[in-house]
């Protein structure tokens, strides 16, 4: 009875229109379900057993008699250096570590960053990687880009530029329910250009769309409605798809580009990626908007009307509190516009996105000149350690050549010869990549696993690496179907505005559409850009 009284008092004191009530740290923590708890229990023993079995007990035939002629250049160097027996043993250990790590990451039996630390030291202690190489992955260029991007994102948050822009746009153009959804689509496109971290975008937009949901009668839990379902799930979709339009949209994009660039002995530029994916990003966003509004979460006449009188005025008061745009805000906008200009023209000047972000972050932090102090910078170091583990795993896969060996063994087992049509490989690889988002929590991990596989398949069949690996990389950001598929998905699920069924039916449909659109683009747009040599099916 006492608990009920306390809860009633809390609910009465809770201001639905106060944006501060929707900060990340104030969201209720969702307790794990029975299945999730069961996974955390079996995760560690299953990971240990898998490691021991595949590393030391089970002798897989394709790892015992490795043909050096079918290895990549890096793999052949290691093979020649340590000999066939040691090379086979190292590959078996690498496979065991890989499987054990994947199990721990998927089951979330222990924190992801801790799995990464275990992974790194395991690669060192088993001799798969030397210490210097394993530990050096913490200094990977993509790691530094992530760190600098969080500095720059913190600059936008600390100065209030991101919040000011989002509130201004909603107040200016969000005159109706439909206009509000379209406003968030546009806001996400703009933020995706400037902010490389999807979690940071989610943190900026969450308080704003939660207040708007409350205005339209959606408060979560027992007060769900289609407006609330739609505004949260559409934003989740936009946050991730927005990242797909730009090379700097996420660290996973940059990692994939680095892997492909290393394989072709060249670079995948910011302008190349944007030219290919920006139009597709916009098409996907508008399709998501139409399907959410017309098919999955159509709004009833009552849901199209504000339920709380004076709700939009509260947003206006939040905007008015920001006052006139400050000199610091103007400086932060100028810094970011300059960074974007250098990113977009990287093919001309040749300066890497990481180096550009470095310079921008330095300027932003400079005393008296900059706009943000170090104490205001929010860098999620646990995510950095998690990423470092993924990069180290990728280094281990490269040294052992396990992806190429596994690809060759797979196709040999199926009896598939080198005459296999390009379209079959294209459909298989892009389909597996997009479907893998249902199982893997990390975009970085998926990039580490499936981009090298695409490179290996292209090498086996004598095809252009770009024609297979780049379309596979374009499917990285489809991580919005289930709550554990990405950090923004996990974060927005805590709002309690939708169920697993809601997010699955909308997200899975959009995932399938994305794959179909990728195939169509391979036959048309990608062919025009010389990504696919003769299209996917060779129709046009």
Same domain as 151, residue 177: yes
Q: What's the mean pLDDT in 439-448?
A: 75
- Token pair 């991730």 in the structure block, residue: 240
CA-CA-CA-CA dihedral for 191, 195, 197, 199, to nearest 10? -40
- Token pair 């969201």 in the structure block, residue: 27
What's the number of domains the chain is made of? 2
Same domain as 85, residue 158: no
Q: Which of 488, 450, 428 is nearest to 249 (CA)?
A: 488
Q: What's the mean pLDDT in 468-488?
A: 86
* Other Cβ atoms within 10 Å of 540 Cβ, number: 10
Q: Is residue 1 part of a domain?
A: no
* pLDDT tens-digit readout, 44-86: 999 999 999 999 999 888 888 887 877 777 778 888 888 888 8
Which of 87, 111, 137 represents a domain boundary (last residue)? 137
Same domain as 312, residue 183: yes
Q: Is residue 64 part of a domain?
A: yes
Length of the chain: 540
Backbone φ, ψ for residue 533 (5° rounding): -60, -45
Q: Is residue 189 part of a domain?
A: yes
Residue 414 has pLDDT above 90, yes or no: no
Q: Is residue 59 part of a domain?
A: yes
Bridge partners of residue 223, in order along the sequence:
220
Same domain as 25, residue 76: yes
Q: Is residue 487 part of a domain?
A: no
What's this model's pTM, rounded to 2 decimal places? 0.76
Cβ atoms 400, 91 nearer than 8 A:
yes
Same domain as 118, residue 188: no
> Residue 328, exposed/middle/buried by CB under 10 A (0-12, 13-18, 19+)?
middle
Helices and strands (DSSP H and E) totals, the chain? 26, 0
Question: Which pLDDT value is given to residue 233?
Answer: 93
- In this predicted structure, which of 182-191, 242-251, 380-389 has the lowest mean pLDDT? 380-389
Which of 347, 376, 405 represents a domain boundary (last residue)? 376
Residue 308 has pLDDT above 70, yes or no: no
Q: Identify the three-state secondary structure at position 372.
A: coil
* pLDDT tens-digit readout, 243-300: 999 887 887 887 788 888 877 777 788 888 999 999 999 999 999 999 999 999 998 8
* Other Cβ atoms within 10 Å of 376 Cβ, number: 14
* pLDDT tens-digit readout, 195-242: 777 877 887 788 778 878 887 777 766 667 888 889 999 999 999 999
Cβ atoms 430, 475 nearer than 8 A:
yes
Q: Is residue 70 part of a domain?
A: yes
Q: 226: Cβ–Cβ under 8 A, 6 or more apart, which residues?
A: 297, 298, 299, 300, 303
Q: Identify the three-state secondary structure at position 246.
A: coil
Q: Is residue 445 part of a domain?
A: no
Same domain as 107, residue 31: yes
Which of 331, 354, 376 represents a domain boundary (last residue)? 376
Give the domain range for residue 69: 18-137
Q: Is residue 430 part of a domain?
A: no
What CA–CA distance (Å, rounded) separates 221 from 40?
26
What CA–CA distance (Å, rounded) separates 413 from 415?
5
Same domain as 132, residue 192: no
Same domain as 103, residue 197: no
Same domain as 103, residue 180: no
């Amino acid at each position: 009875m006492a608990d009920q009284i306390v809860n009633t008092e809390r609910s009465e004191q809770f201001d639905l229109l106060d944006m501060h009530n929707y900060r990340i740290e104030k969201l209720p923590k969702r307790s794990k379900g029975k299945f999730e708890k069961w996974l955390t229990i079996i995760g560690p023993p299953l990971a240990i057993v898998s490691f021991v079995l595949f590393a030391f007990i089970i002798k897989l035939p394709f790892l015992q008699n490795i043909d050096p002629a079918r290895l990549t250049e890096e793999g052949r160097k290691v093979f020649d250096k340590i000999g066939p027996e040691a090379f086979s043993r190292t590959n078996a250990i690498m496979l065991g570590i890989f499987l054990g790590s994947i199990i721990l990451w998927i089951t979330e039996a222990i924190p992801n960053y801790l799995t990464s630390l275990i992974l790194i030291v395991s690669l060192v202690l088993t001799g798969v990687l030397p210490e210097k190489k394993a530990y050096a992955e913490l200094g990977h260029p993509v790691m530094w880009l992530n760190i600098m991007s969080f500095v720059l994102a913190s600059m936008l948050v600390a100065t209030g530029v991101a919040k000011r822009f989002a509130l201004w746009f909603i107040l200016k153009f969000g005159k109706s329910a439909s206009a509000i959804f379209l406003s968030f689509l546009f806001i996400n496109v703009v933020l995706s250009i400037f902010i490389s971290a999807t979690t940071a975008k989610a943190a900026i937009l969450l308080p704003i769309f939660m207040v708007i949901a409350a205005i339209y009668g959606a408060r979560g839990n027992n007060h769900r409605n289609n407006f609330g379902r739609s505004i949260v799930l559409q934003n989740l979709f936009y946050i991730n798809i927005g990242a797909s339009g730009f090379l700097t949209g996420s660290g996973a994009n940059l990692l994939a580009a680095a892997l492909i660039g290393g394989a072709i002995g060249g670079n995948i530029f910011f302008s190349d990626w944007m030219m290919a994916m920006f139009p597709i990003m916009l098409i996907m966003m508008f399709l998501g908007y139409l399907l959410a509004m017309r098919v999955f979460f159509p709004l009833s006449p009552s849901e199209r009307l504000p339920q709380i009188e004076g709700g939009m005025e509260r947003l206006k008061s939040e905007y008015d509190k920001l006052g006139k745009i400050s000199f610091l805000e103007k400086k932060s906008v100028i810094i970011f516009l300059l960074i974007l200009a250098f990113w977009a023209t990287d093919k001309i000047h040749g300066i890497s996105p990481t180096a550009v972000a470095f310079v921008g972050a330095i300027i932003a932090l400079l005393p008296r000149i900059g706009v943000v102090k170090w104490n205001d910078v929010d860098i999620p170091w646990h995510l950095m350690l998690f990423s470092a583990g993924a990069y180290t795993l990728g280094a281990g896969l490269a040294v052992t050549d396990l992806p190429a060996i596994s690809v060759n063994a797979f196709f040999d087992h199926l009896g598939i010869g080198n005459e296999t049509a390009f379209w079959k490989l294209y459909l298989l690889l892009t389909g597996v990549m997009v479907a893998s988002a249902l199982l893997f929590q990390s975009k970085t991990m998926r990039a580490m696993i499936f981009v090298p596989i695409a490179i290996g398949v292209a090498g086996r069949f004598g095809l252009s690496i770009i024609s297979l690996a780049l379309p596979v990389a374009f499917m990285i950001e489809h991580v919005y179907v289930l709550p554990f598929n990405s950090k923004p998905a996990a974060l927005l699920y805590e709002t309690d505005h939708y169920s697993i069924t809601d997010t699955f039916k909308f997200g899975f449909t959009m995932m399938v559409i994305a794959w179909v659109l990728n195939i169509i683009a391979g036959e048309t747009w990608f062919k025009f850009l010389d990504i696919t040599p003769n299209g996917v099916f060779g129709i046009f």
